[in-house]
Each structure stands twice: as C-alpha cells, then as structure tokens.
Structure 1
C-alpha cells in the first residue's frame, strides 16, 4: 500500500508522511483511522531502515535502482568496564582500641519536657 501510494503521488522530490497517509485513506476508505497513522509511521521507518524507501528532507521516495545498497549499521562493541563502586560518603574514622568507652549520647526523645505548671523551675 505504501509503495502504491508513493507511485500514485509521483512527486519527483518524494512524498511526505501526511501525503502518503491521505493517499492511502483515499484509496482504502475502510481502514481504521486511529491505528493507521501509527502503523504507517512504523512501517515507513522500517522500510527506510531496510532500504526499500529513501528518506530525503522528510520526504519518502523509492530509492534509485542504480544506487549502491545501504550499508548495514554495525552495533557498537559492548565492552563492559568493571570499575570499583564509588563510596557514598566519607569513610568512618578508625576507632582507637585503647580509648575509654563512652556512654551513648542522649537523643531528643530521652529529654523530659517541662510544663509551666510544674513546681520545679529549671534555670
């Protein structure tokens, strides 16, 4: 359908996606319009990658039969570099084995709250 629409449009500079879409909808009125636009985009991209269509300035056209075939894209070699993970914070200080043991610090939940009606006043 796509190739027939491009041939029917017969534009020397190629046909854009909306012109191809309108031509297909005019030729085949029974196609579902909602899914057709996304399917057309998918198939145009796939046909461009395989070399069935040429894309020049957002216009699709049939490739020149005398042109050399497109070079297949080679994927980049996947080289995994194993690096040591970066520490998240400063390393803890080394503990002195001869230092006296210290009592744990009081937290805010350990403190008692004073009310204004209590007889003892803290100064």
Structure 2
C-alpha cells in the first residue's frame, strides 16, 4: 500500500537568497520553505543529498501551465524523514543551500490535453 509522502524543500537559513519573495499567505509572514510536493507512489524515489531542485515554466506564456524545465539553483544538503504511527503519512524534509548554476531550459514531454482525452472518452 502506498504511503502519502509530503516532500518539503527548505532553505538552510531564513536569510538565504530570495528570502524577500518567500511569504506564507494570507498573512505574508516569511518562510524558509522553497517548494513542496506530494507523492502517493508505491516505491517513491526520494530526494538525496546532492540532488538539485528543478525549475518549471511556460516560456511562451509564463504562469499558464508548464512547458519547460531546468536544474535549479538549490541543492539538497540533508534529508530527514518522519513517519506517523497513526496514519500512512510520511514527511520528508530536504534542507537546501543556494548554489547557482547556469542551466538550459528543456522542453517537457506532454501528453494529450484534457479536452482531447474527454473527447476520446465521449466517443466510447
């Protein structure tokens, strides 16, 4: 059975580069959280020290979906895992340091659009 895994990437310090843009909503308090995601995979591949974060964007229409990805400026320095005794929830904290690099945007593979999938389903 797959566990729910919350993966949180955090800056090693609150004053790490970019701190001015990292705010919690709705109050606007500062945070050291860089990025987070959930996994429900049976055998997830968890981040390891030395892994880089990834940046994603739509190069032709920024903020409207994702078309490209590249290696990010943050590198995982340590990983800490916590599991619940009561539920199937696991939390993975990845502390990161800012180590900027120059990397090229790569076009992401995309499947059919939602409308194309729905049209195909309606035909059956």
TM-score range, shorter chain: under 0.3
**More RCO (CA 8 Å, sep 6+):** 2
- Structure 2 length as normaliser, TM-score? 0.27
More helix by share: 1
More strand by share: 2
- Structure 1 length as normaliser, TM-score? 0.27
